[in-house]
Structure 1
Amino acid sequence: MDTGHDTAGAVPELSLKLDDQLCFSLYATSLAMNKIYRKLLGQLGLTYPQYLVMMVLWERDDVTVSEIGERLYLDSATLTPLLKRMEAMELLTRARDARDERQVIIRLSDKGRALRKAAVPVPGSVFCAAACPVEELVQLKVQLDTLRERLAAACG
């Protein structure tokens, strides 16, 4: 696949064939990844977005909605209903910050903390499903992170 750059800086005309599109490869891979996670997380009673929130909280509890949003690249309009459902599931609590009423603090409940132990096998199961060397997955993750950063910079 052509990188789209030549020495003169001009971008060549690229194919409109579906199978030539990087975005489609990312999309189709995301669908396959989500299918694996759906199976694994169903056993935990979590959706993938809920799992992401839990991972943020397992790393560092007692954070604001905006901090979770920054980590997950989600806005508060997307996060708020998700967090309300998770609170109803008794995985976390939501409370206004006493120092700044505009901020909502998210804390793990005992049930949310306990769920961490059940989630420990998930990354290994995904790794096994990928069926490739760990070095290859690490390199792919670095490349995807770099691509995300470049695309974000291009969006302004």
Structure 2
Amino acid sequence: MVAENMSDTAYDSTDITRQSTFPTDHSIAYLAREITRIYTRNLQDAIADHGILIGQYHFLRVLWEKDEITQRELANAVGMKESTTFTALAGMEKQGLLTRKRDSNDRRKMTVRLTDKGRGLRSKLIPIAKAVNDRPLAELSLKQVSDLKSMLETLRNNLSGEH
């Protein structure tokens, strides 16, 4: 619990780092991992009836925003290795969600496009994902949600070196 008079004080981990242990309740990373794990499980459970796995959903999200993208760009956008992306996309192609076509000028490049079936999932899965995302925010005010997003963006930027 944070004391009221500490609200404007910069975080100082000195008390924690002097300890010989690092309890999980002091770890933002542990809490973030737990939240991500629960969100992921809840979303996977919610979209399972549509025959989509969570990893496939992440590819679909990118493709819904930018269809006709190279496999490398898609891998980078999702944060996966190209070899993992290749395997996942092969499965999605078999499901009829997308097509892959080699670039005629550069045979190493593979362009990925959604099929009508893949595009059609957007109107079904986005509302489901939004509901999963919004559920834990229900008891927060709009300001708290805005502050939380801002703090998480700051953490992400600090971790990635994007100050």
1:61 aligns with 2:67: yes
1:89 aligns with 2:95: yes
**How far apart, CA to CA, are the structure 2 residues paired with 1:123 and 1:133?**
20
- Asked whether the equivalents of residues 100 and 111 of structure 2 are also in contact (C-alpha less than 8 Å), the reply is yes
TM-score by length of 2: 0.79
1:22 aligns with 2:28: yes
Deviation at 1:53, TM superposition (A): 0.6
CA RMSD of aligned residues (A): 2.5
Deviation at 1:134, TM superposition (A): 4.4
Deviation at 1:152, TM superposition (A): 2.0
TM-score by length of 1: 0.82
**How far apart, CA to CA, are the structure 2 residues paired with 1:117 and 1:66?**
26
1:153 aligns with 2:153: no
- Asked whether the equivalents of residues 4 and 12 of structure 1 are also in contact (C-alpha less than 8 Å), the reply is no
Give a deviation string over 1:72-115, Cα, whole Å, max 9, x none: 22221221111111111110111111121111110001110111
Name structure 1 gaps, 5 residues minimum. Answer: none
Equivalent position SS for 1:90 = coil
Distance 1:36 1:104, change over 3 A: same
Name structure 2 gaps, 5 residues minimum. Answer: 3-9
Give a deviation string over 1:52-80, Cα, whole Å, max 9, x none: 11011111100011211222222212211
**How far apart, CA to CA, are the structure 1 residues paired with 2:151 and 2:100?**
36
**How far apart, CA to CA, are the structure 1 residues paired with 2:117 and 2:77?**
22
Aligned to 1:119: 125
How many residues are aligned here? 150
**How far apart, CA to CA, are the structure 2 residues paired with 1:128 and 1:72?**
22
Deviation at 1:139, TM superposition (A): 3.2
Greater alpha carbon shift after TM alignment, 115-124 vs 105-114? 115-124
Deviation at 1:148, TM superposition (A): 1.9
Deviation at 1:4, TM superposition (A): 3.8
Greater alpha carbon shift after TM alignment, 118-127 vs 135-144? 135-144
1:141 aligns with 2:152: no
